[in-house]
């Protein structure tokens, strides 16, 4: 099974949920036990931080792998630790895939020419075949990547080359959840009056149809923020063959009922990401207290189980539980 969308849908059906765990290892929220083990107080060296981040994320993976179909690694929280952080990102990606998780790299890449080609190589090519231009750690060999289309269609061509081969996926930013999304994405074009994000959705529809697998979904999906309730339904209609990656659930304010329109009648067609709400759940070990009579890993598991149950109760994803 080489088509990315087919592999993702199969993982969703196997785990009976569309919940995705976002790996955003924020330095200010790391568990106290890990902070102490690596002596991270004060100005710890980047290599120590990278080792701590890798341990934290790998332990999270052990907890969530039996429950979730995919994880989304936020590249920024690895990159901030320099070259050791990139190496840790590489190790976390490898472990996620060994555990059977679909590994999505959230880097929101977008550029032109040879720079764009280098980004695509760095994200997708296996280490052993990576070009020298990809840098220290070689290719990350991720299953999918988030990309920014707002430099124009040609800015995504090198990424689309990988998706068209069928084994890698893209999630194109269409309608994001941040308050400033209206500054550009919701502007009307001069020619037709169509909103900018709706125009990008047409591109995604074309690309998803061109990369469609046996599941009915294509290897090119879209990022649609969970806080944009009305636009979610619109985007679902505009991109029927695109998997929607929905951020904004939980800590950012979107409830399960807000994102119900992202799913098709089978409970498929969307994946819902939660990062802080799973990694650092309130009332447990957040931000630096491994207390409350439970360890932080148990709190991560409980938070994920609660998310899965919430999506099952308030969205069509509940149909996966009985299929």
Catalytic residues: 108
- Rounded distance, CA 105 to CA 304, Å? 20
Angle between helices 157-164 and 113-124 (to 10 degrees): 40
- Rounded distance, CA 304 to CA 242, Å? 25
Instruction: Count the helix, strand and coil residues of the chain and give each as a percent rounded to the nearest 5.
Output: 50, 15, 35
Is the peptide bond prior to 287 cis by the omega test (within 30 degrees of 0)?
A: yes
Between strands 270-274 and 244-246, the pairing is parallel
- Rounded distance, CA 219 to CA 234, Å? 20
- The tokens of 54 are what? 């890798």
Alpha helices in the chain, H assignment, sequence order: 4-15, 32-37, 46-64, 76-79, 82-98, 113-124, 157-164, 196-210, 229-238, 276-279, 296-314
Which of 218, 217, 309, 322 shows the shortest CA–CA distance to 272?
Answer: 309
- Rounded distance, CA 168 to CA 189, Å? 32
Q: Determine the longest span between alpha carbons in the chain, in angstroms.
A: 61
- The tokens of 94 are what? 């490898």
How would you label 138-176 residue by residue, b for 16+ Cβ within 10 Å and e otherwise?
A: bbbbbbbbbbbbeeeeebbebbbebbeebebbbbbbbbb
How would you label 65-76 residue by residue, b for 16+ Cβ within 10 Å and e otherwise?
A: bebbbbbbbbbe
């Amino acid at each position: 099974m080489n088509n990315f969308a087919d592999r993702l849908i199969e993982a969703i059906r196997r785990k009976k949920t569309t919940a995705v765990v976002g790996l955003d290892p924020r330095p200010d929220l790391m568990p106290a036990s890990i902070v102490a083990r690596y002596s991270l107080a004060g100005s710890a060296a980047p290599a120590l931080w990278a080792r701590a981040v890798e341990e934290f994320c790998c332990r999270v993976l052990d907890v969530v792998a039996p429950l979730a179909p995919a994880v989304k690694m936020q590249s920024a929280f690895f990159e901030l630790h320099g070259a050791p952080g990139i190496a840790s990102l590489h190790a976390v990606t490898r472990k996620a895939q060994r555990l059977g998780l679909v590994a999505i790299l959230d880097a929101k890449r977008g550029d032109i020419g040879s720079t764009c080609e280098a980004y695509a190589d760095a994200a997708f090519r296996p280490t052993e075949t990576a070009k020298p231009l990809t840098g220290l750690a070689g290719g990350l060999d991720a299953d999918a990547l988030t990309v920014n289309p707002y430099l124009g269609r040609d800015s995504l061509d090198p990424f689309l080359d990988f998706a068209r081969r069928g084994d890698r996926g893209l999630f194109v930013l269409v309608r994001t959840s941040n308050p400033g999304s209206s500054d550009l994405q919701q502007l009307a074009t001069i020619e037709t009056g169509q909103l900018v994000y709706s125009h990008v959705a047409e591109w995604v529809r074309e690309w998803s149809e061109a990369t469609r697998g046996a599941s009915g979904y294509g290897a090119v999906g879209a990022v649609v923020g969970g806080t944009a309730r009305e636009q979610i339904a619109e985007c679902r209609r505009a991109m029927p063959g695109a998997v929607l990656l929905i951020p904004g659930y939980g800590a950012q304010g979107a409830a399960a009922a807000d994102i119900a329109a992202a799913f098709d009648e089978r409970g498929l067609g969307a994946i819902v990401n939660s990062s802080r709400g799973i990694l650092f759940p309130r009332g447990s070990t957040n931000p630096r207290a491994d207390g409350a009579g439970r360890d932080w890993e148990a709190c991560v598991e409980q938070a994920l189980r609660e998310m899965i149950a919430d999506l099952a109760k308030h969205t069509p994803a509940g149909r996966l539980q009985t299929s």
